[in-house]
Amino acid sequence: MLNHYLNARVSLMASRLLSSEEIQTLAEGGAEELATILDRAGLGTITEDMNAGRYIEKSIVLNQLADIVILLRAAGDSRKFLQYWVMRFEITNLKAIIRARMSGTPSSVVRQELIDMGFLASLPVDELLQAEDVGELLRRLETTHYSDMVRFARRAFETQPRLFELDAALDRRFYQGLAELARQQEAELGKGFHDMMQLLIDRINLVWLLRFRFAYKLPPSQVYYLLIPSRYRLSSGVLMDLAVLDSFESILASLPQPYQNWLSGARDIHEVFAIMEDRFEQTAHAVLRLSAPGFARAFAYLTLRERDMRRVRSVLKGRNIGLDTETIKQALGLAEASPSIALRAS
């Protein structure tokens, strides 16, 4: 009964996802067409918040949290996975507090940036805002359910006391935990869920590897240390071999299939991300259409909805600063020369 209810809720929510025609109209249409599409998709409040001068990122996350709250009621055995997924938003709050402690930003200013997690909140925000420095902040977190994540991040920070290392360590440990929870669920949730998780973790690891290696110029050993331990197609052993290669092209040429074929035309890290994200989107749409287990469909919906919101954010911000239509289309992956568009058509 519970799975039937979850499937029904997901199907209802999925009807609000943006179609390819609507995405095109977002980039090319006028203000009235934009408002009509966002209202149909249940995203009208984002426009209202932006017009009122409110922080649009908060509005986007609150929309996501509203969906998650509904799905949590019917998630059954997958509730733990979904609750862990919510931690991403709290980690955003945690990073904002850490940045404030490192820069000396007043607590009153930081509070305005934080996302109100409601009953899903678990961070001791008041305590963290009172911490004198990052070291004390991390020590306070070691008494919470973030303790395992924070111990890893603290070791990285003590070795290299910079914001980058701390951010990267928090992200790495979060996704490691997510992959561990996914492994416990994959037999029950089926191939579609496994394929989504594989594309998610492999995309993150590959983009991080390329960025850390060639944008940040980190040595292979440090790059490998910051990647998510993986059992997927880009396993930890494969990632170790890729991390020592000395060019963007050599890494793409050494990828296992089908990634090597998918990415053969990619010219930079942004295109690698876009192509892998498009492949994930195709997989998630397939899971939604098929008779996959209810939570696999729920996770597919949440990830697709999040991408829709990122597209809306790009359009609204682009229009707000006066970008032309072609630039906005490029941001959405709609430009004619975009490899991701060619991939979608294949």
Q: Is residue 282 part of a domain?
A: no
CB 199 within 8 A of CB 283: yes
Helix axis angle, 56-72 to 44-51, nearest 10°: 150
Q: What is the pLDDT of residue 224?
A: 96
> pLDDT per residue over 275-310, tens digit each?
999 999 999 999 999 877 889 999 999 999 999 998
Q: Is residue 319 part of a domain?
A: yes
Domain encompassing residue 9: 1-55+295-346
Q: How confident is the model at residue 166 (pLDDT cuts 50, 70, 90)?
A: confident
Q: Is residue 312 part of a domain?
A: yes
Q: How confident is the model at residue 337 (pLDDT cuts 50, 70, 90)?
A: very low
Q: Provide the number of structural domains found in the chain.
A: 1
C-alpha distances (whole Å) from 31 to each of 93, 117, 203, 316 are 32, 31, 34, 10
- Of the listed ranges 91-95, 110-114, 146-150, 214-218, the least confidently predicted one is 146-150
Q: What is the pLDDT of residue 288?
A: 93
Residues 6+ apart with CB under 8 A from 298: 6, 9, 10, 71, 75, 78, 82
> pLDDT per residue over 198-243, tens digit each?
999 999 999 999 999 999 999 999 999 999 999 999 999 999 999 9
The whole-chain average pLDDT of the chain stands at 88
Q: Is residue 98 part of a domain?
A: no
Q: What is the pLDDT of residue 338?
A: 42
- Which pair of structure tokens corresponds to residue 272? 């690698």
In sequence order, what DSSP letters do the residues of 83-100 get, joined into one string? HHHHHHHHHHHHHHHHHH
Highest mean pLDDT among 118-122, 125-129, 279-283, 338-342: 279-283
Q: How confident is the model at residue 336 (pLDDT cuts 50, 70, 90)?
A: low
Q: Is residue 235 part of a domain?
A: no
CB 298 within 8 A of CB 75: yes
> pLDDT per residue over 35-76, tens digit each?
899 999 998 887 777 776 667 778 888 889 999 999 998 888
For the beta carbon of residue 32, count every other beta carbon within 10 angstroms. Answer: 8
- Which pair of structure tokens corresponds to residue 310? 């990122």
Q: Is residue 167 part of a domain?
A: no
Top pLDDT among 120 and 339 is at: 120
The mean pLDDT value for 101-126 works out to 87
Q: How confident is the model at residue 341 (pLDDT cuts 50, 70, 90)?
A: very low
Q: What is the pLDDT of residue 43?
A: 87
The mean pLDDT value for 302-327 works out to 89
Q: Is residue 157 part of a domain?
A: no
Top pLDDT among 321 and 251 is at: 251
Q: What is the 3-state secondary structure (H, E, C) of 186-244?
A: HHHHHHHHHHHHHHHHHHHHHHHHHHHHHHCCCCHHHHHHHCCCCCCCCCHHHHHHHHC
- Which pair of structure tokens corresponds to residue 79? 């509730």
Q: How confident is the model at residue 2 (pLDDT cuts 50, 70, 90)?
A: low
Q: Is the pLDDT of residue 138 over 80?
A: yes
Residues 6+ apart with CB under 8 A from 46: 38, 56, 59, 60, 63, 309, 312, 313, 316
Q: Is residue 279 part of a domain?
A: no
